[in-house]
Amino acid sequence: MQVAGLPILYSFRRCPYAMRARMSLVSAGIRCELREVVLREKPAAMIAISPKATVPVLQLAEGAVIDESFEIMRWALAQHDPEAWLNPASGSSDAAFALVEQTETQFKPHLDRYKYHDRYPNVDAAEHRVAGGDFLALLEERLAVMPYLFGKQACIADMAIFPFVRQFANTDRDWFRASPYGHTQAWLAKLLDGMHFAVAMKKYPQWQNGNESVFFPE
């Protein structure tokens, strides 16, 4: 069963990629059917439309499939962007996209090796925390002179990046609290306290045929 006329989002509540996709749907005001996935029991319907089998996956009402979180963000905001997430107040959208890309390539590998060090052979978590900290220092430099990464208001870069900084911070909260990244701490706290995150983190039961949930009902 499908909720008539709505796009379908395969999602996992705690996945930072899925979080940022959900937050962009909230900002754009796009309702969808949310299918909460348990990663070790991925639904066949999701794998059939996206064999790489990562969440999030968005299937549009006409059938098109978008299975990269940043692409989902860009698609949602291209429909409707009332908070101007695609138009950073300071700097260009290309610079914002580049910082998101840098987060994936330079920060995420260290985050994974710090947080999940037991899943990697011969990895020293502390070394990866230092390397991840070097990336936080880049954010800190920007946030020392403006409240968000690209100016006075949050844009796509803030929303695409903070779920990963959250994971890094939560790995050892005492360390993060004592770290020299005070502006980054304040930025993260503000975004965690925001409406988009609250709506995006609402809990849904695991999807099964017959228990359809609608994400972001007004």
Ligand X SMILES: N[C@@H](CCC(=O)N[C@@H](CS)C(=O)NCC(=O)O)C(=O)O
For the CB of residue 215, give the shortest distance to ligand X in the complex, in Å: 17
CA distance 104 to 111: 10
For the CB of residue 29, give the shortest distance to ligand X in the complex, in Å: 22
Residue 195 corresponds to which tokens in the numbers above? 């409406």
Question: Could you tell me which of 48, 39, 51 has the C-alpha nearest to residue 14?
Answer: 39
* Interacting span for ligand X (CB under 6 A) from 63-71, 75-83, 161-169, 189-197: 63-71
Site string for ligand X, 142-161 (x = CB under 6 A): --------------------
Report if residue 59 touches ligand X, rule: CB under 6 A: no
For residue 95, the SS3 value is helix
Report if residue 6 touches ligand X, rule: CB under 6 A: no
Question: Could you tell me which of 75, 101, 86, 57 has the C-alpha nearest to residue 154?
Answer: 86
User: Of 108 and 117, which has the nearer Cβ to ligand X?
Assistant: 108
Query: Residues, the chain, total?
Result: 218
Report if residue 17 touches ligand X, rule: CB under 6 A: yes
Residue 106 backbone dihedrals phi, psi, to 5 degrees: -105, -30
First to last CA, the chain: 22
Q: Under rule CB under 6 A, how many of the chain's residues touch ligand X?
A: 10
Q: What Rg, from alpha-carbon coordinates, does the chain have?
A: 18
User: Of 160 and 191, which has the nearer Cβ to ligand X?
Assistant: 160
Report if residue 69 touches ligand X, rule: CB under 6 A: yes
Report if residue 55 touches ligand X, rule: CB under 6 A: yes
For the CB of residue 183, give the shortest distance to ligand X in the complex, in Å: 26
99 and 149 Cβ atoms separated by less than 8 Å: yes
Q: Where on the chain is the footprint of ligand X (CB under 6 A)?
A: 12, 15, 17, 39, 54-56, 68-70
